[in-house]
Amino acid sequence: MSKAAVFGSFVVDLMARSPRLPVPGETVKGSVFKMGPGGKGFNQGVAAHKAGADVTMISKVGRDSFGEVAFNTMRELQMDTSHMFVTDDTETGCALILVDEKTSQNEIIIVPGACSTITEEEVKNIEAVLKEAEYVLLQLEVNQEANELVAELACKHGCKVIVNTAPYAPVTDEFLSKAYMVTPNEVEAEEITGVPVKDLESAKKAAAYFYDRGVKEVLITLGSRGVFVSSGGREEIIPCFKVEAVDTTGAGDAFNGGLLAALSEGRDIWEAARFASGLAALSVQKMGTTLSMPVREEIDRFLEEHKNS
Ligand code: ATP
Ligand code: RIB
């Protein structure tokens, strides 16, 4: 198994479920409140770690009680905390997540806080991690200058950059040219490429946009319709596993963490996408984000039970 790294956000998720989402100006009584670790980067790092990857989590928090949530979670999971930067200048970020308990639809406001202040010096401090890793997984929730520096350093050392383009933010062609693989969801794929991704044909057109910019492999997640995978001239939609979804917040993170874990085990992209879909299918059956990520035994059992689907 090769080493992997996740460079990205940590925030504390404040999640409330209610019978429906409020319209502007309205107050709705909720049924459940949960507070826990989150942020796309952290969710993906934890998903990969629990799936068995040898992954280094890199993020930044403030010196405050929300920051402690990251450290406590990592200690409980026996993850290495030595590449978590801490600042006195900015508070740890948070995300306000509203979930409709009937449809499982969500609305999120994220205030990234400390993890959007990652400095050039801090990125230089992780050069050794990138040098050793075969893959580094990025998202767009931290300050983009830091992502650009990480991508540059990773390329210098032959570490393959996977960019999960979430949440949508404009990215330069220069940045995309450093990505070995991109994993937008269908909405982000349309926002970046201008191609509405509705079916296999339109997904192929969106993939072509990324190929034109130097990306080598393209996966577009399609929610409950599965994932479009484009690699080595083969382009297919792999359907997702049929499960009863309770909360799909973080499904994309579960998928990306699973993908990273499987790729760093040496699986090919098709097997990795199936493994990632299984991990995501397990996570949507539980409430929450980081805390809904399954352990390796659960994933293996689930895939074995669903080997004919
Ligand atoms: P989020 O922003 O909520 O984290 P996303 O939009 O980035 O999610 P999706 O495309 O919704 O990501 O989902 C990622 C993957 O998760 C899908 O490709 C699929 O494999 C799995 N998935 C999503 N929703 C479901 C579902 N209802 N049932 C089973 N698997 C699902
Ligand atoms: O993808 C889900 C994540 O997005 C949540 O954990 C929340 O922190 C937001 O950043």
Q: pLDDT at residue 157 above 90?
A: yes
117: left (phi over 0), alpha (psi -120 to 50) or beta: alpha
Q: Which of 132, 37, 129 is nearest to 77 (CA)?
A: 37
Exposed, middle or buried: residue 265 (CB in 10 Å: 0-12, 13-18, 19+)? Answer: middle
For residue 309, pLDDT over 90 is answered with no
| Structure confidence at residue 308 (pLDDT) | 83
For ligand 1, whether the C-beta of 278 sits within 6 Å is no
CATH superfamily of 3-23+31-304: Ribokinase (3.40.1190.20)
pLDDT score, position 72: 98
The bound ligand whose nearest atom lies closest to the alpha carbon of 40 is: 2
227 lines ligand 1 (CB under 6 A): yes
Q: Is 250 in the pocket of ligand 2 (CB under 6 A)?
A: yes
C-alpha–C-alpha distance, residues 275 and 281, integer Å: 10
Query: Which residue of 99, 220, 248 sits with most ligand 1 atoms within 8 Å of its CB, as the best mutation to test the pocket?
Result: 248
Q: How far apart are CA 186 and CA 211, in angstroms?
A: 17
Centre of ligand 1 to C-alpha 278, Å, is: 11
Ligand closest to Cα of 39 equals 2
Whether the pLDDT of residue 167 is over 80: the answer is yes
Lowest mean pLDDT among 13-22, 100-109, 171-180, 294-303: 100-109
- Sheet with 3-7: strands ordered across: 84-87, 54-62, 3-7, 133-138, 160-163, 181-182, 217-221, 227-231, 234-238
* 204-221 tens-digit pLDDT: 999 999 999 999 999 999
Q: Are 174 and 180 in contact (CB under 8 A)?
A: no
* Secondary structure (3-state) at 141: coil
- Domains in the chain: boundaries: 3-23+31-304
Q: Is 10 in the pocket of ligand 1 (CB under 6 A)?
A: no
Which residues contact residue 85 at a Cβ distance below 8 angstroms, ignoring those fewer than 6 apart?
58, 59, 60, 61, 114, 118, 122, 125
Active-site residue set: 253
pLDDT in tens, 245-291: 999 999 999 999 999 999 999 999 999 999 999 999 999 999 999 99
With a 6 Å cutoff on the Cβ, whether 219 touches ligand 1 is no
Name the closest ligand to CA 92.
2
pTM of the model: 0.98
Q: Do the beta carbons of residue 226 and residue 240 sit within 8 Å?
A: yes
Q: Which residue CA neighbors atom 10 of ligand 2 most closely?
A: 39
- 52-109 per-position pLDDT tens digit: 999 999 999 999 999 999 999 999 999 999 999 999 999 999 999 999 999 888 999 9
Instruction: Please give the radius of gyration of the chain, using alpha carbons only, rounded to the nearest integer.
Output: 18
43 in ligand 2 pocket by Cβ < 6 Å? yes
